[in-house]
Amino acid sequence: MEIISFGSDSSGNSYLITSGGRSLLLEAGVPLKKLHGIDWSSVDACLITHEHGDHTKYAKDLLKRTGIDLYLSAGTQEVLEISSYRIKTLKALTKQNIGSWTVLPFDVQHDVNEPLGFLIQAPGGEKILFATDTYYIKYQFPGVTHLMIECNYAMDILKKNVESGRLGAFLSNRVIKSHFELNNVKKFIQTNDLSQLQEVWLLHLSNGNSDEKRFKREIQEITGTPVYIAE
């Protein structure tokens, strides 16, 4: 199982997961010219979680230039106003076979129209949980081997930034209501089955409200597995 991050912040998000010689692209927020080394003939599809531009800006380019299908919710497609025979819609809690992958979309909490997370069964047998841009996940997932999860900010850092005037109250409230906080990520991880977990990728860290070394250390203490910060 190989995971590559091409971008994981408000400027653009995109990841490639590869297993058994086949790949899936997750998110379309990074220019194609920056997706170095991808063999597009091995990519079965691109999954998109929600409508925001840092996750979808280059979706039309993918359709025009790569020939791969895009999978997203009907709500996301409606907002993006993308029409193509290679657009495939997903429904929360309804499994979808995509080549040799099996994808279970699930609903998450974000300030957009029908956002999704994905539980992905890979060709090599790995089970990947991918969730970003959500402040809460209400489901539990047994047997996950690779966890790719947003860890956007820590509440104590956020509060200090508000108190110092570095961050306005409006923006801080939006962050709290739309992104995953460190302690909430830890609680979510602890409610899940970690017996098969091999590694964790922390996604979408805030530039001003996070601490990479601290986040990595605290998550490693819980999981006992390697933890990587996606950049």
Regarding predicted confidence, which is higher, 178 or 126?
A: 126
**Single pTM value for the model:** 0.96
Q: pLDDT confidence of 203, banded at 50, 70, 90?
A: very high
Position 178 scores a pLDDT of 84
Position 180 scores a pLDDT of 96
Buried b (16+ CB within 10 A) or exposed e, 28-46: bbbebeebeebeeeebbbb
Q: pLDDT confidence of 168, banded at 50, 70, 90?
A: confident
Position 38 scores a pLDDT of 96
Q: Nearest Cα to 115, choosing from 83, 78, 140, 85?
A: 78
**What is the tens place of the pLDDT at every residue in 47-63?**
999 999 999 999 999 99
Q: pLDDT confidence of 100, banded at 50, 70, 90?
A: very high
Question: Domains along the chain?
Answer: 2-229 (3.60.15.10)
Q: pLDDT confidence of 170, banded at 50, 70, 90?
A: confident
Q: pLDDT confidence of 42, banded at 50, 70, 90?
A: very high
**Mean of pLDDT values over 161-180:** 88
Query: Which residues make beta-bridge pairs with 116?
Result: 107
Other beta carbons less than 10 A from residue 203's beta carbon: 26
Q: What's the mean per-residue pLDDT of the chain?
A: 96
Residue 17 token pair: 């997961």
